[in-house]
Structure 1
């Protein structure tokens, strides 16, 4: 059963290992944005809050992601922006989250965002539903034990020639920037289990960027 070692994560997120995890995508511009990686502490182990984007969005349509979005002028910091977005999108209030640290901003080419990933403990989780129903189609709570299971890991490939680490959980296909962050977080937290990087899959149409109804 996977549990959160808060001190280990705080130390890792504040040290050079965190910067190294995103060095290949270090932001050199782009619009500032932030996402919240909420680690929900259930009796049966840690779960992660993920959202499924509405299929009608102009970018990232249908994709599985973390709650988050653009940092606004009224946000005091990237942390404040991530917490505000999580509240607006799924009703997870800032006061419910203990922030453990952040990953340095990483660039997302598809949306031209420089995204800061904020990692936090959620010690008293409860069911969440979409609040911003124009953007969020569903909220998922996925066990870390399921995500790190080698049977649920693979390398995705995109028709444009890109590839990266991915996860398959039931009907969900997690790829792109979200999977990239999960992969890095699991390494930092010491949760990674060796998996077969040679297991390759195309991205199902439902979860591929740019899908329209």
Structure 2
């Protein structure tokens, strides 16, 4: 088992297939309990968010190419229906170039939260009215805002290069847009509010694609979904499902044992 690289805590110190059944994952909750700081006044027009895949590093091109043509059903069998009134949300799937190669930024929910305590997730949360049109650039704006509120990252250093099709989470009723970003200019990150986030950490793509770190998580209700065991983290649910699909569609997936089972109480 490999070790996830953790970011230091403190303010400014610095993504599906089968898993959609057991969507108890923090990547869809953060806007429900987040801080209100750093938000534009309600009467101000939101600044436009550019979405471009120009200038991405070569290693990230397979993800960008897959994002251009991906169909919703390739990501999940749980999709919003026409006229769906589920709560719009967005998560930031942020790729960076770390000390040990390409990596993803994740957070871990605080153990004291009412729901999904202690679970790794993408930064993100519900769309606020000031984020704008959920069918337009509202999701990128919300994903960047929430990531800043949760980790302290500077959104100016993030290049949004794609927004994946919206996915539906039956358990919570969220309609989630995974927003793909390239951390073009990394900034310090860490825990902004310990009451919501226990830690901010990165996981290398190499660790995520290592067959030794892959398994199927077993939910107490019997649902199965892809999972990743990286360091002290078990990444599962919606977040693991999105990662699983990205690895597959980008051609990064390596054969792994799909019969391997890990219970969600694996620490016990």
Q: TM-score, normalised by structure 1?
A: 0.88
Choose from 159, 170, 183 the match for 2:231: 170
Does the 8 Å contact 1:71/1:78 carry over to 2? yes
Farther off after superposition, 131-140 or 118-127: 118-127
> In structure 2, how many angstroms separate the alpha carbons of the residues matched to 1:136 and 1:64?
10
Extract unaligned runs of 5+ from structure 1.
208-213
C-alpha contact 1:32 1:70 (8 A) present in aligned 2: yes
Count of equivalent residues? 204
Which one has the bigger strand percentage?
1
Which residue of 1 is the match for residue 140 of structure 2? 79
Tell me the CA shift for residue 176 of structure 1: 0.5
Aligned to 1:210: none
1:49 to 102, 105, 114: 105
Which deviates the most, 107-116 or 170-179?
107-116
Match of 1:58 among 114, 119, 142: 114
Larger Rg: 2
Distance 2:150 2:267 in 1: 21
Where do 1:3-152 residues align within 5 Å? 5-15=59-69, 17-28=70-81, 29=84, 30-76=86-132, 77-152=138-213
Distance 1:72 1:60, change over 3 A: same
Once the two structures are superposed, residues 152-185 of structure 1 have per-residue CA deviations (whole angstroms, 9 ceiling, x without a partner) of 0000111112111001012111111010010011
Deviation >4 Å, runs of 4+? none
For normalisation by structure 2, the TM-score amounts to: 0.71
| Structure 2 gap segments, 5+ residues each | 1-56, 133-137
> How well do the aligned residues superpose, as a CA RMSD in angstroms?
1.9
**2:257 maps to what in 1?**
196
Aligned partners of 2:65 and 2:230: how far apart in 1?
A: 29
